Amino acid sequence: MSNYPQLKMLINGEWVAEGGDGTMEVINPATEEVLGLMPKASSEQLDAALAAADEGFRVWSAKPAIERFNVLRRASDLIRERKDAIARIITAEMGKPMAQSLGEVASAADVIDFQAEEAKRAGGRMVPPRSAHILSQQVHHIPVGPSVLLTPWNFPVNLPARKLGGALAAGCSVILKPAEDTPATAQLLVETLVDAGVPKGVVNLVYGDPGKVSEHLIASPVTRKVSFTGSTAVGKHLGALAAQGMKRFTPELGGHAPVIVSENADFATAVANCATVKFRNAGQVCVSPTRFLVARSIYDKFVAEFTERVKTIKVGDAGADDTVDMGPLAHARRIPAMDHILGDLGGNRGEILTGGKAIEGRGFFYEPTVVAAPAADSRLMNEEPFGPIAGIVPFDDLEDAVATANSLRYGLAAYAFTTSQDESYYLGKALHAGMVAINHLIVASPETPFGGIGDSGFGSEGGVEGYLGYTDTKFVTVAKS
Ligand code: NAD
């Protein structure tokens, strides 16, 4: 790719191309072409970023909210101006179709706008005192401090934007470490903040080995908050590290979203939504619908129509062909991960109706896969696939379907389709997840909280909650002197 940017870290307002710890190749997953070399930060460079964030916090948290708003608003304008360039890099680095990359860039700008506005709105509150002797009781939301933001590759601009928007609006300085698969996308986003006038040291960008970088940054006394999006296993590890320093931690982790399709569903809406949204981003979405629980009376028809739709999904190099519906998996390790998920099916343990294997040739492509009636104890029904694999099982009783939906330790998103008001109410209440959508499959918007429960994490990003996640609560009371 000719216009892939030279990768540089941003440390204390300086762009740094030399990594003290060597380099790592960034690969286009559709072509296996080496896009560029990512510098890896040394311990000294991480310490420099920490020192910059420490000083940056003093500068930024002292700015009036309106100044923070102005910088963030200029940045979101720049994101919109540069949308084509950013989207092209997303597609090159992780393979999603350009239309999805452009949609993601638009969301990133909107998310930053919402959080910027929140900086102006977020007040504290006055609490009536119990005694005339007390003049005031004030509750303040103060910025938590320098924050470490660890983001994955599946939404390489929107997830950093969610974290950066909330943190910067609240007055925190940050060190962003994006996924090693998608550094240039994060770099283009950070460039918009620099060009919008964020003071030096407030935003730092580092690359490197994720384990080494995160452990170093979390251990530092400078760091006061850690926000991580990624797998449950890594989230538990990072949470334990953060707890040792009593640091705020917001984990947004894996999911295995159930979709209950009632016999009262609008069938056409349900099947069209499910078969499309499941394969968006090649299924590499934490809220991807994955376990389809379908009323037995409509099960055969649902499986047949779902599978026919899936067979029409065009898989290919989205950077070279605008008509592609689904790109590759993000990196080579995802192929054996898909094979593992499908590895214990067969016989009476579930039938692969379409797909089921990697596509031969260059790139990390996997066939869109539909499995009918996977066994209840199969990997597919229990482990997060994080890829283009759908399992469909019949149910006889709605309460049993809810029990199956709620049976895993994950609790990120859950979905249902029904035209019955009573069922909508029941399902909205009974499905145990951080986000529930009925009759559609969209749970992310700039204005609403996004987050899970159980093994999917805790805390929220987006919405007012996204802002408050970067604040501590402080109580100030004044008595008559
Ligand atoms: P992976 O665990 O190797 O990497 C996933 C992400 O976590 C990457 O961005 C990586 O940089 C980061 N990471 C890994 N170890 C880390 C550490 N010790 N400290 C800090 N960051 C670390 O997995 P993968 O094969 O790339 O992705 C698949 C798995 O990751 C899936 O099972 C899925 O649950 C999870 N994932 C979740 C999300 C999400 O949106 N919640 C996004 C991407 C990946």
ipTM: 0.96
User: Dmax over Cα atoms in the chain, in whole Å?
Assistant: 81
Residue 286 designated active-site? yes
pLDDT at position 371, please? 98
Q: Calculate how far, in angstroms, residue 4's C-alpha sits from the geometric centre of ligand 1.
A: 24
Q: Calculate how far, in angstroms, residue 231's C-alpha sits from the geometric centre of ligand 1.
A: 5
Q: Calculate how far, in angstroms, residue 210's C-alpha sits from the geometric centre of ligand 1.
A: 9
Residue 447 designated active-site? no
Catalytic residue among 104, 252, 423, 461: 252
pLDDT at position 122, please? 82
List the one residue out of 412, 443, 449, 414 whose CA is nearest residue 428. Answer: 414
Does the CB atom of residue 95 touch ligand 1 within 6 A? no
- Strand order through the sheet with 125-126: 125-126, 134-143, 471-479
| pLDDT, mean of each 10-residue run, the chain (481 residues) | 92 98 98 98 98 98 97 98 98 97 98 97 93 97 98 98 98 98 98 98 98 98 98 98 97 97 98 98 97 98 98 96 96 97 94 98 98 98 97 98 98 98 98 98 97 97 96 97 93
Does the CB atom of residue 384 touch ligand 1 within 6 A? yes
List the one residue out of 75, 105, 97, 255 whose CA is nearest residue 165. Answer: 75
In ligand 1, the atom with minimum distance to the C-alpha of 215 is 19
Question: Atom 33 (ligand 1): residue with closest C-alpha?
Answer: 231
Q: Calculate how far, in angstroms, residue 153's C-alpha sits from the geometric centre of ligand 1.
A: 8
pLDDT at position 123, please? 85
- CA of 121: how far to CAs of 110, 230, 475, in Å? 17, 30, 19
Token output for 460? 């929220």
Counting ligand 1 atoms within 8 A of each CB, the residue from 46, 231, 379, 435 with the most, and so the one to mutate, is 231
Does the CB atom of residue 333 touch ligand 1 within 6 A? yes
Does the CB atom of residue 191 touch ligand 1 within 6 A? no
Query: For 328-389, where are the alpha helices, taking DSSP H only?
Result: 334-342, 379-382
Q: Calculate how far, in angstroms, residue 287's C-alpha sits from the geometric centre of ligand 1.
A: 15
Question: Atom 22 (ligand 1): residue with closest C-alpha?
Answer: 210
Catalytic residue among 286, 305, 367, 461: 286
Q: Calculate how far, in angstroms, residue 196's C-alpha sits from the geometric centre of ligand 1.
A: 30
Question: Atom 36 (ligand 1): residue with closest C-alpha?
Answer: 230
pLDDT at position 2, please? 75
Does the CB atom of residue 214 touch ligand 1 within 6 A? yes
- CA of 131: how far to CAs of 139, 206, 474, 476, in Å? 17, 52, 20, 15
Does the CB atom of residue 153 touch ligand 1 within 6 A? yes
Q: What are the b/e assignments for 202-224, b being 16+ CB within 10 Å?
A: bbbbbbbebeebbebbbebebbb
Does the CB atom of residue 365 touch ligand 1 within 6 A? no
